[in-house]
Amino acid sequence: MSSVSYDIGIIGCGPVGALAANLAAAAGLSVLVIDRAEGPHPLPRAVHLDHEMMRLFQSVGLDTVLAPAMRETEGHLHIGADHGVIRYMGTAGRPKPFGWANDYFFYQPELEALLRDGLTRFDAVTLCAATELTGFEQDGAGVTLHLDRDGVTDTARVRWVIACDGARSMVRKTLGIALDDLHFEEPWLVVDAEVAAPVRFPALTGVPAGADLQQLSVMMCDPARPATIVPGRGDIRRWEFMLLPGEDEATMTRPEVVADLLSPYLDGVPHRLLRAATYQFHGLIAERWRDGRVFLAGDAAHQTPPFFGQGMCHGMRDVANLVWKLALVIGGRAEPDLLDSYQVERDPHVRAVVTAAVEAGRYICELDPTRAAERDAAMRERARSGQTGTAADLIPAYRAGVVANDTAGAGERFVQPRLGDGELLDSATGSGWRLIAIDRAAADAARSAVAAAAVSVTLVDATTIGDDGTLRHWLQARGSRFVLIRPDAYVFGTADAEPAALLERLHRALHLCPAVAA
């Protein structure tokens, strides 16, 4: 292996690392993946993903493989101390502007296995399982990785590294990168079980009409013991129980204790316990996401309380943001300065959502009955005033980096309508750079500018794509005739005229190499 050089080395082949490898290989890069385990992790950890992750799977041609492994659900419901609804973030009956449902639950060992299987499609991917990264050194041209497999040592040479090696990241620790503590740390017991019948819930009030408790993530904000109940893939269900002050973690995982906690939900319901483990829920973000040729992604870069199910989603957004930029740099089209935009974009994005999760965690974990009652009243008042939404509404736009941030809609996730023939937009147009024009006249006006662009851009006439008017409506709502979409499906920028000027702004934002820009 020491004689072989790769474009990218990915440390860790959990869901985030496996997606990164699929994205990089699909972009034409050679990839070395290192993972300590022989195969996928055998127990479920992450359980939730959203429409954006399904769109990423779609971008690498794995959506039809992974969709059957998903359970489509209907959002989140928060229940107060009196067993009445205090917050509903549901999606039942709502449109799907991004082409996929807002919430999916899955079984992580199955997801990991399918993502790893996806790597077998690419000759340029080498997966080294049961292999330990023991050290690394950087220089101006690449990174040397030191590897150990069953006591046999080797080295590998890569140009860039993406460290997806988890919350205890060896790479982050080796680089001496500190974590910014958002001051949330609570111990919880996580229980997964196979359940042969619907889960029982206590009598609840205020549940919206049409909302199905079996299809929702239900947060019991009960000061007696906060708990979460979420649907899983097939007949798998997950419970998360907050540990109360003075409770011992080892004691709380005993079968009889777990059975007692589950009994209100599973009394008389046949079930099989899969696991019970305690975790510390954290809010932590790395102070630096890049050190030379090494990048942190996923839990190596940030850790969030799980209250909106965005932990793994953050990591997948990280690698989707980074890989297309690395492809431009490795291909000799952009200067390495482009890669500085990774943390510029991702850190505020992650920080906003982790902060929202920490704030939710603080009210969810309230143990004082009086303060819990005050919380419930305040949250119901907010709901009456219309200050509600879905979990998707928590995801902010990019405000800096590779975005024309003074244009309408810049940095937003772009919609993905389903076309008249049932095909989704990205599948019809490709997932690269796209300039969407509001009509034929606008498309004709943009044609010469697109032809002269320094990067490959697909021109799309919104009136001929066969959608239901979603594209035209999106543009009209932002007073624009053109929208330029990035490879990760975020909006670079919009324009009412002069698409050539928008493309020129793109060239500058990408730090194109002089020969390419010319």
Summarize pLDDT for 210-220 with one digit per residue, the tens: 889 999 999 99
Q: What is the DSSP letter of 289?
A: S
Residue 445 falls inside a structural domain: yes
Which one of 320, 348, 364 terminates a domain? 364
Same domain as 108, residue 33 = yes
Which one of 339, 364, 389 terminates a domain? 364
Rounded-to-integer distance, Cα 117 and Cα 71, Å: 20
Same domain as 303, residue 157 = yes
Residue 252 falls inside a structural domain: no
Residue 136 falls inside a structural domain: yes
Query: Do the Cβ atoms of 80 and 372 come closer than 8 Å?
Result: yes
Query: Do the Cβ atoms of 307 and 361 come closer than 8 Å?
Result: yes
Residue 448 falls inside a structural domain: yes
Same domain as 293, residue 150 = yes
Same domain as 20, residue 110 = yes
For residue 467, the enclosing domain spans 425-517
Cβ-Cβ contacts under 8 Å for 12 (sequence gap 6 or more): 34, 35, 163, 164, 165, 166, 298, 300
Tokens 């959502």 sit on residue: 353
Same domain as 433, residue 359 = no
Question: What is each CA distance from 78 to 97, 222, 453, 491, in whole angstroms?
Answer: 24, 10, 49, 32
Tokens 């316990």 sit on residue: 273
Same domain as 159, residue 294 = yes
Find the CATH number of the domain harbouring 474: 3.40.30.120
Tokens 């998360």 sit on residue: 240
Residue 401's pLDDT is 97
Residue 255 falls inside a structural domain: no
Residue 417 falls inside a structural domain: no
Give the count of domains, the chain.
2
Find the CATH number of the domain harbouring 331: 3.50.50.60
Residue 278 falls inside a structural domain: no
Q: Give the pairing type, strands 457-461 and 433-437.
A: parallel
Same domain as 308, residue 165 = yes
Alpha-helical segments (H) within 163-292:
170-175, 249-252, 255-266
Rounded-to-integer distance, Cα 350 and Cα 179, Å: 14
Nearest C-alpha neighbor of 501 from the set 446, 458, 443: 446
Residue 4's pLDDT is 63
Same domain as 442, residue 344 = no
Q: Give the pairing type, strands 294-296 and 152-163.
A: parallel
Same domain as 431, residue 331 = no
- Cα-to-chain-centroid distance, residue 472: 28
Residue 388's pLDDT is 62
Which one of 341, 364, 387 terminates a domain? 364
Same domain as 475, residue 333 = no
Same domain as 146, residue 53 = yes
Query: Do the Cβ atoms of 460 and 436 come closer than 8 Å?
Result: yes
Residue 93 falls inside a structural domain: no
Same domain as 30, residue 164 = yes
Query: Do the Cβ atoms of 49 and 104 come closer than 8 Å?
Result: yes
Q: What is the pLDDT along the chain (518 residues), one digit of tens a residue?
A: 555 699 999 999 999 999 999 999 999 999 999 999 999 988 888 899 999 999 999 999 999 999 999 999 888 899 999 999 999 988 877 788 999 999 999 999 999 999 999 999 999 999 999 999 999 999 999 999 999 999 999 999 999 999 999 999 999 999 999 999 988 888 999 999 999 999 999 999 999 888 899 999 999 999 999 999 999 888 999 999 999 999 999 999 999 999 999 999 998 899 999 999 998 888 999 999 999 999 999 999 999 988 888 999 999 999 999 999 999 999 999 999 999 999 999 999 999 999 988 888 899 999 999 999 999 999 999 888 765 667 677 889 999 999 999 999 999 999 999 998 899 999 999 999 999 999 999 999 999 999 999 999 999 999 999 998 999 999 999 999 999 999 999 999 999 999 999 999 999 999 999 888 77
